[in-house]
Amino acid sequence: MITDERVVDAAQIQSTFRRLTPERHPILAQYTRDVVYDEGRCMAPGGLVLADAVGRHLTLQPGQSVLDLGCGRGQSSIFLAAQYGVSVTSVDLWITADERRRAAAAAGLAHCITPWQGDIRRGLPPGTPPFDAIVCVQAFHTFGTSAALVRYLATLLKPGGALCVAQGCFSDECEAIPEPFRDSDGWQADYARYHSAAWWRAHVEASGVFAVEACAEFEDGDVMWEDDVLYRGDRAGWNADYLSRAGWLMQHVRYGQTHRPRLTHLLLKAVRRTPADDGSGALDIPGVQP
């Protein structure tokens, strides 16, 4: 008998949680949910819905170069290379370059995806050519709270190059992790870096090296959490193990249906400033040519 008090009522979750719809997110009409969520291999909500959003916000052109930062298993890298004909350097800390190389080859895209495993806080290999764009799906909070890191990212971009982040966040800024979110099976470190869209806008602007063009809550950013719970539940057959393992998250999502803050997502687009933009005549980044 299961005694974990976090075990939740599957029927209640299934009847009250909402799904993302193709009417509001057309990518869902193009691909099955298994494709959108990479057969459950996505490491956070959103999957192709977020990858598609960053691609559209960047208006990528064939032949451009993209750094996919914190790409996990590389789904967003494959999607962007296939959809826009861009070349992608896919960078991740935990997932090996070999795993992503195999995935790129299986998609027939080995020639345009360069996987690299490493910690962006230690920098990319010296001599890496600058990129037209940096995308970061569901990973920016793990390193992007550092002002120095944000400034470093600008050095990886061509002048006028853009950074686009799609990311889980709280709907409101909180000084500490709100009480209902404290029991999170190890997700505390992530919640501690979850901020509101307004916080991220101010943070990236304050770097002085980016002009933030857009930073707001993602359309259906809260529903995205609910849809993720439903998708994973459907895959698991709503078994007791899934309800126990993910019960904490279901409680958090349910809390947000009636209280604030709620879990949601944001989308940020920022363009690397040129000296002319900031009026100072120079970017204050050692070694970076305007």
Ligand X SMILES: C[S@@+](CC[C@H](N)C(=O)[O-])C[C@H]1O[C@@H](n2cnc3c(N)ncnc32)[C@H](O)[C@@H]1O
Task: Tell me which residues touch ligand X (CB under 6 A).
Answer: 42-44, 70-72, 76, 91-95, 119-121, 137-139, 142-143
Report how far apart, in Å, the C-alpha atoms of 45 and of each of 57, 118, 150, 196 are: 19, 23, 24, 17
Structure tokens at 230: 């439903």
Place of tokens 């890298």: 77
- Cβ closer to ligand X: 70 or 221? 70
**Spatial CA neighbour of 165 closest among 155, 148, 177, 150:** 150
- Cβ closer to ligand X: 254 or 265? 265
DSSP string, 69-125: ET-TTSHHHHHHHHHH--EEEEEESSS-HHHHHHHHHHTT-GGGEEEEES-GGG-SP
- Cβ closer to ligand X: 115 or 273? 115
- Cβ closer to ligand X: 125 or 279? 125
CB of 148 to ligand X, least distance (A): 13
CB of 106 to ligand X, least distance (A): 17
CB of 49 to ligand X, least distance (A): 11
CB of 11 to ligand X, least distance (A): 29
How many CA atoms lie less than 13 Å away from 183 in the CB half-sphere? 13
- Cβ closer to ligand X: 121 or 259? 121
**Spatial CA neighbour of 19 closest among 248, 168, 196, 234:** 234
DSSP state of 23: T
CB of 146 to ligand X, least distance (A): 10
- Cβ closer to ligand X: 74 or 261? 74
- Cβ closer to ligand X: 92 or 222? 92
Q: Where are the alpha helices (DSSP H) in the chain?
A: 10-16, 27-30, 33-36, 48-58, 75-84, 97-106, 140-143, 147-155, 188-191, 197-206, 221-236, 240-245, 247-256, 275-278
Place of tokens 């899934």: 242
CB of 240 to ligand X, least distance (A): 25
In sequence order, which residues have a C-beta less than 8 Å from that of residue 155 and are 6 or more positions away?
Answer: 130, 285, 287, 288
Among all residues, whose Cβ is closest to ligand X? 72
Q: What is the CA radius of gyration of the chain?
A: 19
CB of 280 to ligand X, least distance (A): 30
